[in-house]
Chain A
């Protein structure tokens, strides 16, 4: 049992718009931290710039509200300097995937032990409504009055493309599932990416509408759980099976399909093929996958860096600056 509660991680009064998904996400993060029980002073929450990046100001932990796009790189340096810290790196779709895209993929590639939260509302909110790299093609915004003519990133694809070992997805307002995803991310060693589907009531209202309500999720989403069959639907009447190179939605009880025919989720599978297929599912033909899609163990960058430091300490005979000086070719003037 944790000696802390959500209350111990709360600080200040959030200033987001009423109805913003950030509020509910913040509540889920407080709750997850209360259950995880890491002492507040051993946690650093590091964010970039954007609406969601104000989050550290509402945490009773160490917090660092940094610069646009760079929080993954800053968090990487912080974790390397002190691997004992638990670091939550918080960014949005613009911060994390546009200006910070390079740092995002490299943090994932290195597998540095960060809990990387990507709050995805498919819009630039703080600058008052421009399309983001996750906005759908044709999206009309102030900077795309005739609709965008570019395809969006799909965060899971970037994560897997960068050889990510952990990817989870939740909806900001879906408290229990969000808490579960955050806890799983924290418990995973390495770069854990959590995509939080989030609404922007002002500039992109309804962007994740199909899964934003409980009712919507019961129809249009599937909760994935490791070791459990992939069943979904209001009455759990649908399931996923593999067909050829792809996935297929089947109705249980039809055409002789039973629960035993349904794919069982394996989040620990090293191969990303099916994880990617699950992560890319979208309506109307497929449910949106929620929960922990991929969770594979691998050595972390910070562990590897320090293991190498220790190894070299063993193999080299010099361990102080004066000893280092003596390793050079020197001569004596008498």
Chain B
């Protein structure tokens, strides 16, 4: 299936599917991403869900979007704006047209632009295009009626027929971008394996959409192709989102540690998919418990850790507040525990489906007493795998709770991921007691090399002991109120966490060695910051990026790196939490700040503009 001579080769494209939350935009987007990745393109996706489960049909709050960035070479973000926007109804057009490039095209389903539809989307006139001041190309397509026409003899009822209209849109986009329908067909057959008539109806509509483009050339002047010959590392790939990659990282770590994986969790958006994913994989021996509340999610994990499991709890938003007390129990009893916080908009219930980096200080300091905890922040959907694996490794080998920060953006966003060879990942070695340690053993005796206590798991003969939330004597493990002992235990816990720095990689700098501006970020903003840096370099500016994955402890060379550059800007999706933290760790460092808390990913164009201003100051 090749297109006409009018096919232009391009390096990258961005497509955004939008419609009612029941219109199947996520499925259309997912299929388009996967078939693009399958031909060797790189992909980065961003589903933008409404907070309502099912808002009334056609209203502005019910619009669901799915954006995918496809590139011949590496793509790092889902793209600021799209080349093609599919708007299945007036509400989608109204809320999403701002995401379309001035040079892009908006495909609308003309069948859903009746007077009633326009009213639902709160249009005042009968010309939505003019009313919105849209200047880019608008391609009207009778998507619903074409879908009905295609399936009129299918024997399906009208409701089932209309539900296939997302495939018409997908077919059209596949024609525009010269995508092979064969892969889409096999994905649909797999998805609807139990309903073959639905699968075939979807495929028929998909083809009709493709043919509509092919036969009528719709009014789009060009079709495009994105070729990635040999650019991607060889190997087997899959499409993975951050939550799934996190769950996979935990399972891989449990296997490398030879420990049972336990997840205690309570449903909360957008972290719940981690629980969903792990609950599926009992054949790997994973035990998941949907607890009665967030507190019990964490408390059960502390109990599981106490009894020797690789214990984790996952949460988001206000859930992390509720877990604080139980996390602190793991701090003082020095038990391994991994807490995954998929950050979302706050405070309180805030913006449950949107993304922020506003829990950083809560992760670092949100507990009573001196309670140091290692904090790791995953940088991309696929990096969630390594970050989760490393969080487990640090927790187990250093006998400490570890907070893994991800965010709604990387948790739901997906990218092509090269399947890892788990044998090449390091072993995880719990510091279990050995029989020769019996003499003079006590629970807070530490390994002098890293200040880690030795672990006597209940069930181990001759090591029965008692631990708990009360301060203990460093020497005997008994309850102690001794002032000097408390001070030394506070120091020992801090030292233990600080010494983890020896086990984490040095901070890397990308870009110009002699940069005039060093961009600094952490966690899920990596893609946007890196793209901004690359774009500025392509404009001839000298820029570099230092992106942090390890927040506490910081990499050993942090101060050295940050002091090397004349100007440093810390860009983060909060009001300056990381910048403030860095300033407590590095004396007299001057940092510029770029802060944005909108619940949306950064826009590369805005970053470039803001960073350029700072450079020119």
Residues of A within 8 A of B (CB): 11-12, 39-42, 44, 46, 49, 56-57, 59-67, 70, 73-82, 84-85, 102-103, 106, 305, 308-309, 312-313, 315-316, 318-322, 324-325, 328-334
Contact = CB atoms under 8 A, between A and B. Distances in A.
A77 B264 contact: yes
Most central of A44, A59, A65, A77 by chain B CB within 10 Å: A77
Contacts of A79: 303, 307
B458 A78 contact: yes
Interface string B457-487: 1111111111111100000001100000000
Given A44-B458, A324-B281, A324-B284, A332 B300 contact: no
Contacts of A67: 299, 325-326, 328-329, 469
A106 B302 CA distance: 17
B299 A65 contact: no
Given A78-B304, A331-B38, 12 more contacts: A44-B458, A57-B466, A65-B469, A67-B328, A76-B289, A81-B308, A82-B458, A309-B283, A309-B287, A322-B422, A331-B238, A332-B235
B233 interface: yes
Given A65-B466, A67-B326, A80 B422 contact: no
B236 interface: yes
Given A81-B307, A324-B284, A106 B237 contact: no
B613 interface: no
B302 A333 contact: no
B468 A63 contact: yes
Interface in B338-364: none
Interface of B: 34, 37-38, 40, 187, 190, 232-240, 248, 251-252, 255, 260, 262, 264, 281-287, 289, 291-293, 295-296, 299-309, 311, 325-326, 328-329, 333, 419-422, 457-470, 478-479
A63 B299 CA distance: 16
Contact of B458 (A62, A73, A321, A330): A62
B285 to A, nearest CB: 6
Contacts of B421: 322
B480 to A, nearest CB: 12
A85 B309 CA distance: 13
Contacts of B251: 321, 324
Nearest to B286: A309
Contact of B292 (A66, A74, A102): A102
B282 A80 contact: no
B187 A333 contact: no
Given A66-B468, A332-B235, A333-B237, A85 B479 contact: no
Given A40-B464, A73-B296, A78 B282 contact: no
Given A42-B459, A56-B466, A70-B299, A330 B292 contact: no
B413 to A, nearest CB: 17
A106 B284 contact: no
Given A41-B459, A64-B466, A321 B255 contact: yes
Closest 9 interchain pairs by CB? A65-B468, A77-B303, A77-B300, A63-B466, A74-B303, A81-B309, A73-B299, A316-B283, A81-B304
A333 B307 contact: no
Contacts of B325: 67, 70
B299 A333 contact: no
Contact of A70 (B40, B295, B419): B295
Contact of B282 (A103, A309, A329, A331): A309
Contacts of A74: 299-300, 302-303, 306, 326
